[in-house]
Chains A and B, each alone.
Chain A
Amino acid sequence: MGLAELPMLLALVGLAAYVVLGGADFGAGVWHMLLPGERRRPLRDHTYHAMGPVWEANHVWLIFVLVVVWTAYPGAFGAIFSTLYVPLFVAALGIIMRGTCYAVRGVVSGPREERILGALFGASSALTPFALGTAVGGIASGRVPLGNAAGDPIDSWLNPTSVLVGVLAVVTSAYLAAVWLSADGARAHRDDLVEAFRKRALAAGVVAGAVAVAGIFVLRSDARPIYDGLTSGVGLVAVIASVAAGAATLSFVASNRLEAARWSAAAAVGTLVAGWALAQEPRFLPGLTVEEAAAPDSTLVALLVSLAIGAAILIPSLVLLFGLVLGGRFDERPEQPGSLEDAGRAQPTSGPRGAAPGRAAGVAAAVCATVGAPLTFFSDGGVGLVIGVILVLAALAAAASFLVPQVTLGGDAGAR
């Protein structure tokens, strides 16, 4: 593997993360739709609460994949987006709808509002992975030629391979979600949730497996190169790994070892992405290899360096977030009633300390502004301008830290 393929490898890692994490998220939405009625309300609420703290982060993986591909393989990116505009636009609409549902969810009340929201949430949760899956199917089956909208606008995504991948994306999402939701239920000691989602995980696992097996035949007739890649060499290894991980998950779920199932389910889905990549490699688009599609070396190096720096910040942050979530720190708790009312009644406890906000900040603000403003105004670029602008910004920060404590103090003395 050379420099030109390395960004593709990272994009695929990002895609696998999106398929697993974003997939579990979409799947939770699909279950939300499949669990109507008042009796199933606890299950339905669980699908929301489990994903609440992590869904935004899960969806940034998609943006990660997009930016890596457009930076490292700009021509191929342009070709993909201009040909597959229908499913990608639909996916974008689904993402809007879903995000809005999440944002609004916290404040809905009453069964009617909940029903409408649940329907939108569920529909967009199924539509988005399906649409993205059809786009992947179009690329995998070689229906996206290089060029500005050079491929067929309909056939590129409405074809056997696309439909297969779209359906597979939805069912694997539902399967992943059911496994994770049952594990989350176990963590919260909610046996009712564990049982409900265990049953569904087993059922969804069987369905996902069946779709995958049927898919082999679809690929054989519709996307022969991918079929050949998946049935020989390293592609076959990935397929076997996926099947093994899927079978292991079923047995873990059946024997109630849900934390282990969480990981093996992720592996089963992640290896599918690897299998596709290995089967298609080194082809990217028809007549275009990954290497040929790559941007100049200077871009690739800059991208890889910035991805390395980004990863150094991102990975510990993700570990922290998932550590808190999986450790149960963010699980639903009963609201502490009256906390706001108490806040309204209570008065500051350490009055004297707050009563003397830093006069120094006020003086600093005045000095910075007096020097910085004329410097900014009269400098024609260069060091003077830079210093001037920095002083103006410093003046703003100082002024805010002087004035905000002052104006919040006013009412404490009872001058209302």
Chain B
Amino acid sequence: MLVLLAQALGPVDQDYLLEARQMQALSFAVHIPLVCFGVAFPALVVGMEWLGRRRGDPLLLALARRWSKVMIALFAVGVVTGTILSFELGLLWPEFMARYGDVFGLAFALEGFSFFVEAIFIAIYVYGWERLSPRAHMLVGIPVVIAGFSGSLMVISVNGWMNHPRLGEAPVKALFGNSYFWHEMVHMYLAAFLVAGFVTASVYAVARLRGRRDRYVRLAMAVPLVVAAITAPAQVLVGDWAARSVAEEQPVKLAAFEGLGRTEKGAPLHVGGWYDDRRGEVRYGIRIPRALSLLAFHDPNATVKGLDTVPADDRPPVNIVRVSFFTMVGIGTLMAVFGIALLVLWWRRQALPDGPWFLRLVVALGPLSVVALISGWVTTEVGRQPWVVYRHMRTEEAVTGAGGIPLGYATLVVIYVALAVATVWLLRRLARAPLQLEAGDGSS
């Protein structure tokens, strides 16, 4: 205890706590889609290269090479947005760092190494086309795939710890011996493949709708789409595991998902509607009896704890959490149905559908997958409020006493808008080059 006191900086008044939280959330929302590409894209690219070399198919190799350029560009943007996040941890939440940095810092140190390894090998991979032997080039790709996985594992172990801290444990045990973070890890890892897959497929679906029918565009859409299609149903299964873990360890968060005001046996689920704080119930929603108990505990008669189990001060903002949760679940379900339908169609026809409405749906799934991703993180992070370290440290205890948060926030918004514009512009420029290919694609 003495140690903890020695590391505490002292309480402060911060008028702009909400702005500080929004600033952190904004930075996170900018970073996390890029993470998906850092985690999942290398596996796609290296897989394509492997297949291309095995088959001697130059088109697959050309595709892998083009994607590797996109991969390093997005990684570069991810490096800077990730650096911002690590700066913000100190700039906005010094008290959190001071009191608990010694526990979760370890995971970030290991993440730093993963990041390092990924940065090194991604550069060798991208600069190494034609400069390394085919075998050496493929081998160089493998550490990129592994580092993408291990890096996200480290970061999510910190989030798992924040949601399910056990104080007084040594860092290694507290972080990696934590039963709570594995569902987050697997859920996020699959989400990375969904986002990278659907977003990439979406881009090429646009090209096909515009009349580009060559083999290059067809394969560039089919590969990520198939990967995302098989991942989507599995994600529903993992999501169910996640919800059951939340029900057990963070009952208040689960109550906020559904807007369950009072503890109930055989609790219902409401689709749509709005949580009314005064009445402590969801209004204007479609009520499905016992569904919440069934979903959360796989038992229609299970007792589900309500928001009333904790004082009003200890509850998260219910409607934000609830809307995010249902957005994620809704889009996730859509993606899973789409994925199964696609696989069934493929099985029967041995070809993927190609009609304009199918392509339009694929176009829509790209941005929708990003919305689901961000909604999922809002669900878990806002759902953790008012705690930064669940039941141990409140967000307002963690915040900086420094001024200038509104100014910093405004500046950051401007910078991120510029960054987004630059990234879109960059990707469009990168996409122009395949036109060359179309002209040269003689096999019609």
A interface residues, Cβ below 8 angstroms from B: 52-54, 56-57, 59-60, 62-64, 66-68, 70-72, 74-75, 77-83, 85-86, 88-89, 91-93, 95-100, 102-104, 106-107, 146-150, 153, 292, 295-296, 298-299, 302-303, 306-307, 310, 313-314, 317-318, 320-321, 324, 329-330, 336, 338-351, 353-354, 373, 376-378, 380-381, 385, 389, 392-393, 395-396, 399-401, 403-405, 407-408, 410-412, 414-416
Given A53-B127, A66-B86, A303-B106: A147 and B9 interface contact (C-beta under 8 Å): yes
Beyond A59-B83, A342-B440, 14 additional contacts (C-beta under 8 Å) are A67-B108, A74-B7, A74-B97, A74-B98, A78-B94, A81-B97, A82-B401, A89-B408, A103-B426, A148-B401, A343-B62, A345-B442, A350-B54, A416-B218
B152 within 8 A of A: no
Nearest-neighbor residue (CB-CB) of A381 within chain B: B179
Q: Given that A92-B83, A149-B400, A299-B103 are contacting pairs, would A70 and B223 also be in contact in the complex, using a CB cutoff of 8 Å?
A: no
**B80→A63 contact, CB < 8 A:** no
The reply to whether A70 and B436 contact each other, CB–CB distance below 8 Å, is: no
Does the CB pair A78–B83 fall under 8 Å? no
CA distance A403 to B101 in the complex (A): 44
A149 with B12: in contact, given A64-B116, A377-B240, A415-B351 (CB under 8 Å)?
Answer: yes
- The reply to whether B433 and A340 form a contact with Cβ atoms under 8 Å apart is yes
Given contacts A78-B97, A345-B442, A404-B47, contact A67 B411 (CB under 8 A): no
* Interface residue stretch chosen among B257-265, B325-333, B415-423: B415-423
Q: Which residue of B lies closest to A351 (CB)?
A: B55
For A70, the chain B residues whose CB sits under 8 A away are 89-90, 97, 101, 105, 108
Pairs A-B, 5 closest by C-beta atoms: A71-B105, A341-B440, A81-B90, A74-B101, A295-B102
B239 to chain A, nearest CB (A): 11
Residues from 104 to 140 in B contacting A, C-beta threshold 8 Å: 105-106, 108-113, 115-117, 119-124, 127-128, 130-132
Query: Which of A60, A341, A353 is the one whose CB lies under 8 Å from B112?
Result: A60
> Is there contact, CB below 8 Å, between B94 and A81?
yes
Number of interface residues of B (CB under 8 A): 129
What is the minimal beta-carbon distance from B215 to any residue of chain A, in angstroms?
A: 5
Minimum CB distance partner of A404 in chain B: B223
When distances are taken between beta carbons in the complex, the residues of chain B under 8 Å from A392 are: 234, 237-238
CB distance from A397 to the nearest CB of B (A): 9
Contact B400 A82 (CB under 8 A): yes
- Report the nearest A residue to B436, measured CB to CB: A340
Cα–Cα, bound, A174→B443 (Å): 53
* A80 contacts B120, C-beta separation under 8 Å: no
Interface contact B91-A89, CB-CB below 8 Å:
yes
Closest to B93 in A: A78
The answer to the question of B293 belonging to the interface, with a C-beta cut-off of 8 Å to chain A, is no
Residues of chain B contacted by A72 (CB below 8 angstroms): 102, 105
Whether B127 lies near A52 (C-beta < 8 A) is yes
Set B87, B101, B223, B400: member contacting A71, Cβ < 8 A: B101
User: Can you spell out 6 A-B residue pairs with CB atoms less than 8 angstroms apart?
Assistant: A56-B79, A71-B101, A78-B101, A295-B102, A329-B131, A404-B51
Contact partners of A338 in chain B: CB under 8 A:
440
Contact A396 B102 (CB under 8 A): no
In the complex, residue of chain B having the shortest beta-carbon distance to the beta carbon of A317: B120
B98 touches A75 (CB 8 A): yes
> Within 8 Å CB of A404, what residues of B?
47, 51, 223, 226-227
State in angstroms the CA–CA spacing of A74 and B95 once bound together. 9
Q: In the complex where A53-B127, A67-B112 touch, is A78 in contact with B58 (Cβ < 8 A)?
A: no
Q: Do residues A103 and B131 form an inter-chain contact, with CB atoms below 8 A?
A: no
Q: Are A95 and B83 in contact (CB-based, < 8 A)? A: yes
Of A317, A340, A393, chain B has the most CB atoms within 10 Å of the CB of: A340
Indicate whether B186 reaches chain A with its CB closer than 8 angstroms.
yes
Distance, CA A104 to CA B66, complexed state (A)? 15
Asked if A75 and B8 sit within 8 Å, CB to CB, the answer is yes
Docked complex Cα distance between A122 and B246 (Å): 49
Closest B-chain residue to A349, C-beta based? B56
CB atoms of B113 and A314 under 8 A apart: yes
Quick one: given A75-B6, A295-B7, A408-B60, are A107 and B97 in contact (CB under 8 Å)? no
Q: Does B59 contact A (CB under 8 A)?
A: yes
B90 pairs with A56, CB closer than 8 A = no
Q: How far is the CA of A330 from the CA of B404 in the complex (A)?
A: 44
Given contacts A88-B90, A104-B426, A302-B172, A67 and B109 within 8 Å (CB-CB):
yes
**Chain B residues within 8 Å of A377, by CB:** 237, 240, 298
B residues at A contact (CB < 8 Å): 3, 6-12, 47, 51, 54-62, 66, 69, 73-77, 79-84, 86-91, 94-103, 105-106, 108-113, 115-117, 119-124, 127-128, 130-132, 143, 170-172, 179, 182, 186, 190, 213-216, 218-219, 222-223, 226-227, 230-231, 234, 237-238, 240-241, 244, 298, 346, 350-352, 400-404, 408, 411-412, 415, 418-419, 422-423, 425-426, 429-430, 433-434, 436-444
* Contacting pair B101 A295 (CB below 8 A): yes
Residues of A within 8 A of B434 (CB): 340
Measured in the bound complex, the distance between the Cα atoms of B113 and A77 in whole Å is: 20
Given contacts A60-B115, A81-B94, contact A339 B62 (CB under 8 A): yes
**Nearest-Cβ distance from residue B56 to partner chain A, whole angstroms:** 4
Query: Which of A71, A91, A373 has the most B CB atoms < 10 Å from its CB?
Result: A71
Contact between B426 and A321, CB atoms less than 8 A apart: no
Does the CB pair A57–B226 fall under 8 Å?
no
Known A104-B422, A149-B12, A310-B113: A408·B90 in contact at CB below 8 Å: no
Chain B nearest CB, measured from A325 CB (Å): 8
Given A100-B80, A104-B422: A86 and B106 within 8 A (CB)? no
Most buried by A among B62, B123, B130, B442: B123
CA distance A96 to B411 in the complex (A): 12
A71 touches B106 (CB 8 A): yes
Cβ contact within 8 Å between A302 and B116: no
Whether A303 and B105, one on each chain, are in contact in the complex, defined by CB atoms closer than 8 angstroms, is yes
- Is the pair A78, B12 in contact by a Cβ cutoff of 8 Å? no
A376 touches B214 (CB 8 A): no
Which residues on the A side are within 8 Å of B429 (C-beta)? 107
Q: What are the residues of chain B within 8 A of A376 when measuring CB–CB?
A: 237-238, 241
**Chain A nearest Cβ from B218, distance in angstroms:** 6
Chain A residues with Cβ below 8 Å from B7 are 74-75, 295
A320 adjacent to B124 (CB under 8 Å): yes
* Given A56-B119, A70-B97, A78-B98, A344 and B91 contact (CB-CB distance below 8 Å): no
Min C-beta distance of B168 to chain A, whole Å: 10
Give the residues in chain B near A411, CB-CB below 8 Å.
215, 218-219
Residues of B within 8 A of A349 (CB): 55-57
CA–CA, A347 and B11, complex, Å: 68
Complex interface: chain A residues within 8 A of B106 (CB):
71, 299, 302-303, 306
> Which residues of chain B are near A78, meaning CB under 8 Å?
9, 90, 94-98, 101
B109 and A74 within 8 A (CB) = no
The answer for the CA separation of A6 and B412 in the assembled complex, in Å, is 36
B104 and chain A: residue at smallest CB distance:
A71
Q: Which residues of the partner chain B approach A396 to less than 8 Å between Cβ atoms? A: 190, 230-231, 234
Q: How far is the CA of A63 from the CA of B222 in the complex (A)?
A: 37
Q: Are B12 and A148 closer than 8 Å at their CB atoms? A: yes
